[in-house]
Amino acid sequence: MKNFSNYTDFDTKENLAFDSKVVHGALGTEPLTGAVSMPIFQAATFRHPEFGQTTGFAYSRLENPTRLELERTMAILEGGIRGFAFSSGQAANMAVFSLLEPGDHIILSDDIYGGTFRIIGDVFGKYGIEHTYVDMSDLDAVQAAIQKNTKMFFIETPTNPMMKVADIHAVSEIAKGIGALTVVDNTFLTPYFQKPLTLGADIVTHSSTKYLGGHNDTISGIVVVKDDEEIAEKINIHIKSHGSQLAPLDSWLVLRGIKTLAVRMDKHNANAKKVAHWLREQKKVEKVYYVGFEDHKDYDVTLKQTTGFGGMISFTVDSEETVMKILKNVDMIMFAESLGGTETLITYPTTQTHEDTPEDVKEKLGITRSFLRMSVGIENPDDIIADLDRAMNG
Ligand SMILES: *Cc1c(COP(=O)(O)O)cnc(C)c1O
């Protein structure tokens, strides 16, 4: 029987399956009261019993019980030694890039999240950190991009929005060969479908705004470090110096989202598969980008490293006119940025998520004015298809 009475002793739940781990977290219950839902500890500071004594908590920028439960839960789910919860996915990625020193070189997936382009170009460029974008699904291109000062590989897989798949194990082997770190942004698949740390990566990041939170109600980010205490401590110093930690209420929202991660991901997965196959049959649709298609060029890699395809689909239609028709006429489906929530959202990457990506890069990637991205929600799939059908073909 459980007999935890403090915040120090928690259980990594090795004996539980993943879909039980998400429900029960790290401590699971609040240890002093037994509250089944970890409460929102809305406190800035914590009282000390006397000089030289502490409850383990001092000040909420440094540590907070609600945030700590989220950080430990994410470390358990990704299989790392330590997790950190940030005020956004961007803040999480910032912390990871801060591990680099002036003069270092980083290699990144070429169609990463638009905001990450901005961090690398506008923020880190001026600190003397060099970068190269490559197609991470092309291992020869990855090899060719290596420089003497390459210290980090930053992978998004599947990529956003072109749905290219990088072989995490293969890239991390290349990285190990030159003493560089491999970082995977695991936002799209979550540890329910893909566990980068078990495939060779050193660090995982998330925009937990997306599937982990899952309800389009909070902005947040996660970093999990696999096994290097020194790296974990550097991230810890970054988060407490920058003050980019996640607030208690938002930590609680993400924790609550995680409890249903397994059932939501299965439903996103099943719905996206149905919608992707339907889209492929449509006269006005020229190409569908979906990692679950057997003829997707990276399908073998997907099968090797994931247990599901996720809920993301991109597609190109016959004209910009059709794009405008869809965006104007969708009803249940919402024209909005973001992804990973219960609601189906449709996004126009060229003016939304990838607004800050340079035009020439967008053109090369195929992010054109007739290109759309969809985050398939957990509604009834027939309603999603009927809405799309009416908006596009009606
Ligand atoms: C949304 C997103 C981010 C940025 O996260 P925010 O929570 O919006 O700051 C980073 N990477 C990926 C893959 C994303 O989808």
Q: What is the mean pLDDT of the segment spanning 6-16?
A: 90
Average pLDDT value over all residues in the chain: 95
Number of Cβ within a 10 Å radius of residue 90: 20
Chain segment 266-294, per-residue pLDDT in tens: 999 999 999 999 999 999 999 999 999 99
Q: Which of 13, 21, 82, 210 is catalytic?
A: 210
Shortest-distance Cα residue to atom 12 of ligand 1:
113
For residue 207, the CA-to-ligand 1 centroid distance in Å is 4
- Mark whether 246 and 271 lie in a shared domain: no
- Mark whether 84 and 185 lie in a shared domain: yes
- Mark whether 280 and 319 lie in a shared domain: yes
Q: What is the mean pLDDT of the segment spanning 237-247?
A: 97
DSSP bridge pairs for 331? none
Asked which of 118-132, 146-160, 350-364 is least confident by mean pLDDT, the reply is 350-364
Number of Cβ within a 10 Å radius of residue 297: 10
Q: Write out the residue range of the structural domain in which residue 89 sits.
A: 4-258
pLDDT at position 1, please?
Answer: 56
Chain segment 77-110, per-residue pLDDT in tens: 999 999 999 999 999 999 999 999 999 999 999 8
Tell me if residue 61 is catalytic. Answer: yes
- Residue 163 CA to chain centroid, in angstroms? 14
Residues with CB under 6 A from ligand 1: 88-90, 113, 115, 156, 160, 185, 187, 207, 209-210, 219, 221
For residue 15, the CA-to-ligand 1 centroid distance in Å is 32
27 has a pLDDT exceeding 70: yes
Chain segment 137-152, per-residue pLDDT in tens: 999 999 999 999 999 9
pLDDT at position 78, please?
Answer: 98
Q: In total, how many domains does the chain have?
A: 2
pLDDT at position 118, please?
Answer: 84
CATH code of 32's domain: 3.40.640.10
pLDDT at position 361, please?
Answer: 82
Last residue of a domain, one of 243, 258, 273: 258
Number of Cβ within a 10 Å radius of residue 138: 14
- Mark whether 195 and 285 lie in a shared domain: no
Write the single-letter amino acid at 226: K
3 has a pLDDT exceeding 70: no
CB proximity list for 141: less than 8 A, separation 6 or greater? 134, 135
- Mark whether 188 and 88 lie in a shared domain: yes
pLDDT at position 235, please?
Answer: 98
Shortest-distance Cα residue to atom 2 of ligand 1:
207
Q: Can you tell me which atom of ligand 1 is nearest the CA of 187?
A: 13
Residue to mutate, 163, 209, 216, 218, ligand 1, most ligand atoms under 8 Å from C-beta: 209
pLDDT at position 115, please?
Answer: 83
Q: Which of 7, 113, 133, 211 is catalytic?
A: 113
Last residue of a domain, one of 221, 237, 258: 258
CB 25 within 8 A of CB 38: yes
- Mark whether 286 and 253 lie in a shared domain: no
For residue 283, the CA-to-ligand 1 centroid distance in Å is 32
- Mark whether 294 and 211 lie in a shared domain: no
- CA separation for the pair 387, 394 (Å, rounded): 10
- Mark whether 248 and 274 lie in a shared domain: no
- Mark whether 84 and 202 lie in a shared domain: yes
- Mark whether 22 and 57 lie in a shared domain: yes
Last residue of a domain, one of 232, 258, 284: 258
pLDDT at position 4, please?
Answer: 64
pLDDT at position 260, please?
Answer: 98
- Mark whether 248 and 218 lie in a shared domain: yes
For residue 170, the CA-to-ligand 1 centroid distance in Å is 24
CATH code of 348's domain: 3.90.1150.10
Q: Which of 11, 19, 61, 299 is catalytic?
A: 61
**With the CA atoms of 252, 255, 260 and 266 taken in that order, what torsion angle do they form, in degrees rounded to the nearest 10?**
130
Asked which of 7-11, 62-66, 186-190, 212-216 is least confident by mean pLDDT, the reply is 7-11
Tell me if residue 211 is catalytic. Answer: no
- Mark whether 84 and 231 lie in a shared domain: yes
Q: What is the mean pLDDT of the segment spanning 210-222?
A: 98
Chain segment 302-343, per-residue pLDDT in tens: 999 999 999 999 999 999 999 999 999 999 999 999 999 999
